[in-house]
Structure 1
Amino acid sequence: MAETIPAHLPGTKPASATIVLAGATGALGRLIGQYLLQRGATVRALIRPGSGVKPEAAALRNQGATVLEVDFNNEAALTEACAGAACVVSALSGLHDVIVDTQTHLLQAAVAAGVPRFIPSDYSIDYTKLPEGSNRNLDLRREFSRNLDKAPIQATSVLNGMFTDLLTGQAPVVLFGLKRVAYWGDAYQPMDFTTTANTAEFTAAAALDPTTPRYLRVAGEVASMQGLQQAASAATGEKFKLFRIGGLGAFGNVIKLTKALMPASDDVFPPWQGMQYLHNMFTGLPKLAPLDNNRYPEIHWTSVREVLATKK
């Protein structure tokens, strides 16, 4: 956990600013809440009815957040929950019913309550540069962004590439057992990686900064597959090699086949969704530029090597 930092940083709101946080019991949301509290913000965490007994909610209370159980379909209750906030931050996770429908309810409540700023649950590669249909989950964020851009509120999206933490397990790229870094396409294509903690810390700083633009782009490290190979070798003391599986066209066909063979489900991250995300990154289209890492200079950015070194 990062050190507590002064609340009165250049361009930030005073320590007493109230931030409404939706999705506060998720992995990213909890960290955003913690970093907001470290910066002296008043955090009002919105959770669904019945979720107050969860240990994640108890942890938020113990850290100093106010936890409110709110029906996100109740416009009056949601508007009241947003009243007096300097910014509404969404860390909600889900499919269309959450990313588009629930976030739209939250957005409407923020506008009705007179909240000046809104940060949506984007936290991704730059979906604005991708063609429609190339990534289901990012298409949902694009759909919500159209609603957001029409609303009379200042919006800021935080784009961070891939969560670096996924490289130690969920993303089948660094194969520790085989000492290989597997990829499709070009081994030298630059890509963006940012830890969940760094993303949360930057989002907390942005929530308290009234001068943020429509998009903020950060990367804990910009690395190619060759860079990941070098980082894995340095982190483990073992020699990793590159393993090119095939071209991007072949990868696209594998994604289509995987999706066709899998039964329909409400899974937010089925295997083919992760494949779509990697395919997007390998193309280079959603590469983040320019980067805003220096906007809050107190943040220490965690490298890929540091993350891979935690793999036991």
Structure 2
Amino acid sequence: MKVGIAGITGKFGHLLTTHLLEKDNVSIQGLCRDPSKLPEEIRSSPSVNLVKGDAFDDTAVRSFVQGCDVVVCCYLGDNKLMIDGQTVLIDNCDELHVSRYVASDWSLDYTKLELGQLFPKDPMIHVKSYLETKKNVSGVHVLIGAFMEVIFSPYFGLFDPKTNTFRYWGEGDEPMEGTTYDDAAKFTAEVIVDRNATGVLRFLGVRANIRELARTFEKVYGKSVTLERYGSRDELYKHMHDLRSKNPQDIFSYMPLFYYYYMINGQTLLGPNIDNARYPNIHPLDWEGFMAKWAAEELPASYNALRN
């Protein structure tokens, strides 16, 4: 099986490549702007061929797609890249009869959202609809909840490593779903080599609320934590829209709040059925297993690290 990975040099593309190379009879065709960003062991692998080019270089994209059995998009960027860049890939897959296209989805179940609610997921809604118009290529959508590493990141703002404080909106009993980057890559690798895997597939590492997360932290690290409540879900909704209205260009001041709101309001939860049982060889980490891999002070930077 020849697997095309667009955006192979990114964190997720790198992890996915690593897991695919562990499988028999899989070769990889990677699309990237700078092959030097990949480690030498991947660049020099006889099972890997790299095509240099960007997402809008139709000649490079067509060369990349040619001969692939399945193409995976690992792009992460603005709406132009996530919609128009994927359109270029999808059109070439359709024309060249690539049987499956794994869209750049993963975090949260955006299929339960309306356009405009969680604006960073709007491109995924557009891409899913576009794939449904194609005759020769089937869409594959892997959903995993939130990436666990991101929940601890400074970007998300829930955890203060200096004071071991967990800050939250809501009542503190709202379930949050998470899967590690590496487990998400493992599940995606299984989906890729499973020729019958199409449509929406949902995989989950753990479901827990912020209070349970704090208790797990105390158990793993033997450190006391503080829980600090920002306000209600309704107050969060108003706050995030106020920030966006007052300064729409400062996207990182409010985008994490939009993600958090739609995580805890229940709308984007996976299920009621998940597909973990489809690949019983994968045993995803829960919060305790995840924390056991990191020193407490490393948690905020875990989203930047590559660790299997």
Answer yes or no: same fold by TM over 0.5. Answer: yes
Shift of 1:242: 2.9
SS, match of residue 38 in structure 1: coil
CA contact (8 A) 1:107 1:148 kept: yes
Equivalence map 1:36-185=2 (5 Å): 36-40=20-24, 41-48=26-33, 51-52=34-35, 54-56=36-38, 58=40, 60-63=42-45, 64-152=47-135, 153-170=137-154, 171-185=156-170
Shift of 1:18: 0.4
Q: Structure 1 counterpart of 2:22, which letter?
A: Q
Residue 260 of structure 2 corresponds to 278
The 10-residue stretch of structure 1 (29-38 or 145-154) with the greater mean CA deviation from structure 2:
145-154
TM, length-normalised to structure 2? 0.88
Shift of 1:58: 4.5
Q: Structure 1 counterpart of 2:144, which letter?
A: N
Q: Structure 2 counterpart of 1:143, which letter?
A: H
2:242 counterpart of 1:257: yes
Separation in structure 2 between the aligned mates of residue 247 and residue 134 of structure 1, nearest angstrom = 18
Distance 1:112 1:167, change over 3 A: same
Residue 215 of structure 2 corresponds to 230
Separation in structure 2 between the aligned mates of residue 71 and residue 235 of structure 1, nearest angstrom = 43
CA contact (8 A) 2:51 2:63 kept: no
The 10-residue stretch of structure 1 (181-190 or 133-142) with the greater mean CA deviation from structure 2:
181-190
Q: Structure 1, unaligned stretches of length 5 or more?
A: 1-16
Separation in structure 1 between the aligned mates of residue 222 and residue 118 of structure 2, nearest angstrom = 36
TM, length-normalised to structure 1? 0.87
Shift of 1:57: 6.4
The 10-residue stretch of structure 1 (290-299 or 92-101) with the greater mean CA deviation from structure 2:
290-299
Separation in structure 2 between the aligned mates of residue 78 and residue 178 of structure 1, nearest angstrom = 48
Shift of 1:298: 1.5
Residue 221 of structure 1 corresponds to 206
Separation in structure 1 between the aligned mates of residue 102 and residue 201 of structure 2, nearest angstrom = 11
SS, match of residue 242 in structure 1: strand
Separation in structure 1 between the aligned mates of residue 85 and residue 110 of structure 2, nearest angstrom = 20
CA contact (8 A) 1:181 1:242 kept: yes
2:15 counterpart of 1:26: no
Distance 1:110 1:256, change over 3 A: same
SS, match of residue 215 in structure 1: strand
Separation in structure 1 between the aligned mates of residue 164 and residue 61 of structure 2, nearest angstrom = 50
Q: Structure 1 counterpart of 2:284, which letter?
A: W
Task: Write out per-residue CA displacement over residues 20-48 of structure 1, whole angstroms, 9 at most, x where no aligned residue.
Answer: 00011111111011111111310100113
Separation in structure 2 between the aligned mates of residue 134 and residue 228 of structure 1, nearest angstrom = 27
Residue 277 of structure 2 corresponds to 294
Residue 12 of structure 1 corresponds to none
Separation in structure 1 between the aligned mates of residue 58 and residue 95 of structure 2, nearest angstrom = 9
CA contact (8 A) 2:51 2:60 kept: no
Task: Write out per-residue CA displacement over residues 76-102 of structure 1, whole angstroms, 9 at most, x where no aligned residue.
Answer: 442232122111000101111111001
Q: Structure 2, unaligned stretches of length 5 or more?
A: 298-308
Task: Write out per-residue CA displacement over residues 81-126 of structure 1, whole angstroms, 9 at most, x where no aligned residue.
Answer: 2122111000101111111001000001111111100100001100
SS, match of residue 75 in structure 2: coil
Task: Write out per-residue CA displacement over residues 64-85 of structure 1, whole angstroms, 9 at most, x where no aligned residue.
Answer: 4211113433434422321221
Separation in structure 2 between the aligned mates of residue 274 and residue 56 of structure 1, nearest angstrom = 29
